[in-house]
């Protein structure tokens, strides 16, 4: 069975601090995709990134960066110089490739609060 674990339930930081959100996954699939979504208080899930299991290259997008390590089944998300607008619940998700189930399996989320 597939599983995503986000061990950090809540994190609180002060603006401009760096923060890393952890994600550990379990799957028997040999190829799969990993995702991060942001859910602000409005409730809508906002797509942040998708990563193929074959691509372990780290990715940086502005203040966001992602570290994918297949050896430890982790896909961690770092926000550099956090801002108040980053306050939200962040979800890591796992999705099989074409030919498998269409569903995304989500972790329980990490609530990030960035204080001014």
Partner 1 sequence: DTGVSQDPRHKITKRGQNVTFRCDPISEHNRLYWYRQTLGQGPEFLTYFQNEAQLEKSRLLSDRFSAERPKGSFSTLEIQRTEQGDSAMYLCASGLRLAAYNEQFFGPGTRLTVL
Residues at the contact surface with partner 1, assessed by CB under 8 A: 4, 33, 37, 42-47, 50, 52, 91, 93, 95, 97-98, 101-109
Q: Which of 21, 107 has the CB closer to partner 1?
A: 107
Q: Which of 4, 21 has the CB closer to partner 1?
A: 4
3-state SS assignment for residue 60:
strand
Q: Which residues contact 83 (CB under 8 A, 6 or more apart)?
A: 15, 16, 63, 114
Smallest distance from the beta carbon of 81 to partner 1, in angstroms? 27
Number of Cβ within 10 Å of residue 71's Cβ equals: 6
Number of Cβ within 10 Å of residue 14's Cβ equals: 11
Smallest distance from the beta carbon of 103 to partner 1, in angstroms? 4
Smallest distance from the beta carbon of 116 to partner 1, in angstroms? 25
């Amino acid at each position: 069975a597939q599983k995503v674990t986000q061990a950090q339930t809540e994190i609180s930081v002060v603006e401009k601090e760096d923060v890393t959100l952890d994600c550990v996954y379990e799957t028997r699939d040999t190829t799969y995709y990993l995702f991060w979504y942001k859910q602000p208080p409005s409730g809508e899930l906002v797509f942040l990134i998708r990563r193929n299991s074959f691509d372990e290259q780290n990715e940086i997008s502005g203040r966001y960066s992602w570290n994918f390590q297949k050896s430890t089944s982790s896909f961690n998300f770092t926000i550099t110089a956090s801002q108040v607008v980053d306050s939200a619940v962040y979800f890591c998700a796992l999705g099989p490739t074409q030919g498998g189930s269409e569903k995304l399996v989500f972790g329980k989320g990490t609530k990030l609060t960035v204080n001014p």
